[in-house]
């Protein structure tokens, strides 16, 4: 049986004119038994053509924020820069993937996008709104705090329901869960750290980077194994 093809949208460095992706995403998919398929973002109209090649989807994070106007808020000073073209492309990918019940794993900003597509909202800056920081200093792959996983959820089946040490590299987080979105983990300060869409076979989002922290805590790699297994079952 062929390896399930897992699409991963690339970032774009506009200065050097290069598409980029941290290798940890592709390595995690490959090590879980999948075939990483890089997706060069562009006009949102081609998202469906890309998804026709994919058995599953990873939504990676990035050093930018979703435009607040997409979740009905005015931009505040602490909100970071946006990349409207990438967000528009990945938005189209998410909508089409969820409609087609394609297995999806959202990571960091990818999790936030999943929530906003479902009508959720974000804290534009955790420090400004909640007085907390979730941006750890380097090295970024080390665990910096624990999350409490909700028992009985898909996340718990993938990583266990014991407290899970995670890394933390975000200044935004989900403030309101979207339609049909279940919050499945929180940090000790109450910040949302994971979600899933129970109405779909596999749609999971985590606020940390399991592909990076997995070398220190192997439980995280269950997320990528779960994604690839769900994609494999779709291929059969």
Domain ranges of the chain: 5-235
Three-state DSSP class for 132? coil
Phi, psi (5° rounding) for residue 129? -95, -35
- Please give the Cα distance from 124 to 81 (Å, whole number): 11
CA distances (Å), origin 12, targets 2, 47, 95, 113: 30, 16, 21, 18
- Please give the Cα distance from 232 to 57 (Å, whole number): 12
pTM of the shown model: 0.97
CATH 3.40.50.880 matches 5-235 = yes
Model pLDDT for residues 26-80, shown as the tens digit of each residue: 999 999 999 999 999 888 999 999 999 999 999 999 999 999 999 999 999 999 9
Other beta carbons within 10 Å of 220: 25
Alpha carbon of residue 164 to chain centroid = 17
Q: Does the structure show a pLDDT above 80 at 231?
A: yes
Whether the CB-CB separation of 209 and 24 falls below 8 Å is answered with: yes
Place of tokens 């975000």: 170
User: Three-state secondary structure along 44-92?
Assistant: HHHHHHHHCCCCEEEECCCCCCCCHHHHCCCCCCCCCCCCHHHHHHHHH
Model pLDDT for residues 92-128, shown as the tens digit of each residue: 999 999 999 999 999 999 999 999 999 999 999 999 9
Active site residues: 108, 209, 211
């Amino acid at each position: 049986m062929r390896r399930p093809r897992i699409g991963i949208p690339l970032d774009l460095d506009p200065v050097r004119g290069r598409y980029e992706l941290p290798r940890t995403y592709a390595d995690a998919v490959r090590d879980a038994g999948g075939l990483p398929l890089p997706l060069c973002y562009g006009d949102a109209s081609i998202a469906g053509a890309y998804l026709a090649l994919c058995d599953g989807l990873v939504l990676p994070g990035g050093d930018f924020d979703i435009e607040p106007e997409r979740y009905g808020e005015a931009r505040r000073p602490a909100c970071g820069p946006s990349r409207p073209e990438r967000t528009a492309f990945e938005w189209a990918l998410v909508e089409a993937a969820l409609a087609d019940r394609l297995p999806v794993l959202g990571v960091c900003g990818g999790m936030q996008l999943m929530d906003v597509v479902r009508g959720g909202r974000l804290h534009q800056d955790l420090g400004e709104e909640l007085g907390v920081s979730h941006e750890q200093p380097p090295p970024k792959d080390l665990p910096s705090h624990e999350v409490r996983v909700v028992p009985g959820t898909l996340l718990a089946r993938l990583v266990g329901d014991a407290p899970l040490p995670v890394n933390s590299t975000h200044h935004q987080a989900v403030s309101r869960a979207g339609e049909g979105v279940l919050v499945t983990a929180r940090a000790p300060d109450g910040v949302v750290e994971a979600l899933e869409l129970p109405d779909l076979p596999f749609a999971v989002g985590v606020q940390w980077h399991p592909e990076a922290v997995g070398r220190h805590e192997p439980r995280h790699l269950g997320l990528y194994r779960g994604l690839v297994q769900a994609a494999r079952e779709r291929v059969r």
